[in-house]
Amino acid sequence: MSIDIPIRLPAVDWRRKFRYRLMLILLQPSLILSGLVVLVVAGWWVSPSTFTRLSPYESDSDHGFSPPSLDHPFGTDRIGRDLYARVVYGAANTVEAALIAVFIGLVLGSLIGLLSGSLGGAFDTVVTRIVDVLLSLPSLLLSMVVVAATGYGMVNIAIAVGIASIATFARVMRSEVLRVARSQFVEAAGTLGVGYWRVLATHVLPNSARPVVALAALELGTSILAVSSLGFLGYGLQAPEPEWGLSVSEGRDYLASYPWIALLPGVVIVLVVLSANRIGKSLGEIR
């Protein structure tokens, strides 16, 4: 006669499991490369003079349309301005506008989504319908409408792109609030008499924030692309100010004969957008 003796496995420490999964994510080559790209762009933004000794405004007509070389890694434009210097110094204008846009969308969208998911009723219905309408519109088109109404300039572009992203943040925050609100610890807090706003601030909001933070990283790449697109269309800074979208626009007439003027700034935009999206995806994978 055999007796089955139950075997108790040691409980898995969730902190150790979280650290292990985080390490696996951080050691991915694509994520490391994306982080390096973001760090370089951050360096361009904080201290552009560290990365280039040339001025983005200084022209040299004798060296116009020079191809990429050791002296001019990205070549020069039609009046001899160093394209690499213009991309480096232009990072401040483009990235700052994108960060402002993400901040506007994150704060306002999260607040709207938090109130919509927690209050429910008619308020939730109205907000949901408005969000659905905004999401059905192309974000770039909505940004162009806002810029046309408020005026040109990088500040107005940042506000326009931020307004266009509010609906996305509101939708994600609302869905997370509805999920967390059904949790046992939230119901227990309400049963114990904890106030409504305190439950929102201490239980619902912290447990709903992770997907929204991951979305913010994704929206940073989207905002950089939108800001550059509006700059390309002429809604942003005007020459001779350095800006990524403007740099691409200045070289579009010379694609056949001098392609580096538009292609190399465009490659920088693509790399930064892809890197931000990769980091945002990794943040969403962390459990």
Tokens linked to 173: 């925050």
* Low-confidence winner among 42-46, 139-143, 176-180, 231-235 (lowest mean pLDDT): 176-180
Burial of 61 (0-12, 13-18, 19+ CB in 10 A): exposed
Give the total number of structural domains in the chain. Answer: 1
To the nearest 10 degrees (0 to 180), the angle between helices 29-46 and 14-26 is 70
Q: What is the pLDDT of residue 118?
A: 83
Question: pLDDT digits over 120-174, tens only?
Answer: 889 999 999 999 998 888 888 889 988 988 888 899 999 999 999 999 999 999 9
On the 0-12 / 13-18 / 19+ scale of CB atoms within 10 A, 150 is middle
Instruction: Answer whether residue 67 shows pLDDT above 50.
Output: yes
pLDDT of residue 192: 62
pLDDT at position 25 over 90: no
Are residues 140 and 226 in contact, defined by beta-carbon separation less than 8 angstroms?
yes
For residue 112, name the pLDDT band (cuts at 50, 70, 90). very high
**Neighbouring C-beta atoms of residue 111, cutoff 10 Å:** 15
Full-model pTM: 0.84
Q: Is residue 99 part of a domain?
A: yes
CA distance 264 to 94: 16
Residues 6+ apart with CB under 8 A from 212: 106, 110, 169, 172, 173, 176
The string of pLDDT tens digits covering residues 223-250 is 999 999 999 998 888 888 999 999 999 8
Residue 17 DSSP label: H
Tell me how far apart the alpha carbons of residues 179 and 132 are, in angstroms, rounded to a whole number: 19
pLDDT at residue 62, as a whole number: 80
Look at residue 19 and tell me if it is in a domain: no
**104: pLDDT strictly greater than 90:** yes
Domain that holds residue 268: 29-55+72-285
Residue 267 lies in a domain: yes
**Phi and psi angles of residue 177, each rounded to the nearest 5 degrees, phi first:** -65, -40
CATH number for the domain harbouring residue 226 = 1.10.3720.10
